[in-house]
């Protein structure tokens, strides 16, 4: 069936992560259930745009945001493009579809002070978990790596002599990132603690208190708990530290192309999202300094 061929295509040819493939599968299954219940259509490769539009209306009326609906439609569109590629269909029913309008979300990064407060807070805890959590926060803030990249980090990926780490990013693209001395010291301290506790996990760098490889919700809870003590911002996640890393570098005059390489973005457009706060800072300086505005 085309559906299973599509999942294999995403997994083995596109090298998408398990999480991404799971999202595609969920979106397509949701649409398939809708077609079966509303139109008695079994194969979604036989639908028309009118039926897809009905699904969009149903999703909207159920309270799902336009952003989420667009993501689901994007999954469906990718599937139809795959069907054309393997010659199962000749026309993409979504060819002329226009995405729903989405209000731009401005993500406010953690301030320098908030980052410093969290690091100081964790530094007070000399237990294994405290040292590990400090290593996680410092590594996030020093490199801007993604949560999945941190989880996948292995001992062999850290080169203390060259002061670098090797990161496996999206589409299995590797990049080498520099490490500052303070972070190297924290990582080394964590490694010593890990050896002393006799952890069974020898390959992956970060482990839980039980000696197992860390996982997504574990990392989220670590970040959310510490930043919840110092910040009133609604979103307190690993991605917000990545956002803070990028924004703070730009505010200090970092080159956008260099930042693109550090973040592992495939295009400069993805990196430009982080320029908002830099522009806002310039606006504030201008507003507070211009003679005409003072009058």
Residues noted as catalytic:
146, 170, 239, 242, 265, 274
CA-nearest of 152, 163, 164, 167 to 206 is 152
Contact 34, 58 (CB under 8 A): yes
Q: Could you count the other beta carbons within 10 Å of the beta carbon of residue 185? A: 13
Strands (E), 102-211: 158-159, 164-168, 174-178
Contact 210, 203 (CB under 8 A): no
∠ Cα 74 77 81 (to 5°): 140
Q: What would the two tokens of residue 226 be? A: 């510490």
- Tell me the residue ranges of DSSP E strands in 27-94: none
Residue among 188, 191, 221, 217 at smallest CA distance from 204: 191
Task: Output the CA–CA distances (angstroms, integers) from residue 7 to 14, 31, 69, 71, in the order listed.
Answer: 10, 15, 21, 17
CA distance 284 to 216: 37
Report the SS3 class of residue 202. Answer: coil
CA neighbor of 223 nearest in space, from 80, 63, 110, 71: 110
CB 46 within 8 A of CB 2: no
Q: What is the chain's percent helix, strand, coil content, to nearest 5?
A: 65, 5, 30
> Are 49 and 55 spatial neighbours (Cβ–Cβ below 8 Å)?
no
């Amino acid at each position: 069936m085309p559906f299973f061929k599509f999942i294999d295509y995403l997994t083995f040819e596109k090298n998408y992560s398990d999480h991404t493939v799971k999202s595609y599968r969920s979106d397509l299954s949701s649409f398939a259930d809708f077609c079966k219940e509303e139109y008695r259509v079994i194969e979604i490769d036989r639908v028309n745009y009118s039926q897809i539009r009905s699904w969009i209306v149903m999703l909207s009326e159920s309270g799902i945001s336009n952003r989420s609906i667009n993501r689901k439609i994007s999954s469906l569109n990718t599937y139809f493009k795959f069907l054309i590629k393997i010659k199962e269909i000749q026309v993409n029913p979504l060819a002329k579809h226009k995405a729903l309008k989405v209000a731009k979300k401005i993500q406010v990064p953690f301030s320098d002070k908030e980052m410093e407060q969290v690091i100081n807070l964790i530094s007070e805890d000399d237990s294994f978990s405290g040292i590990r959590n400090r290593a996680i926060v410092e590594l996030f803030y020093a490199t801007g790596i993604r949560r999945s990249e941190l989880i996948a980090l292995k001992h062999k990926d850290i080169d203390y002599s060259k002061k670098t780490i090797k990161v496996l990013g999206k589409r299995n693209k590797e990049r080498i990132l520099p490490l500052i001395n303070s972070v190297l010291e924290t990582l080394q301290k964590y490694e010593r603690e890990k050896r002393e506790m006799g952890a069974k996990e020898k390959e992956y760098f970060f482990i839980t208190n039980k000696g197992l490889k860390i996982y997504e919700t574990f990392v989220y809870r670590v970040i959310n708990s510490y930043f919840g003590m110092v910040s009133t911002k609604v979103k307190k996640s690993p991605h917000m530290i990545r956002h803070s890393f990028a924004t703070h570098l730009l505010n200090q005059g970092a080159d956008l192309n260099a930042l693109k390489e550090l973040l592992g973005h495939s295009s400069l457009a993805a990196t430009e999202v982080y320029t908002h706060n830099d522009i806002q800072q310039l606006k504030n300086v201008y507003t507070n300094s211009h003679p005409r505005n003072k009058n």
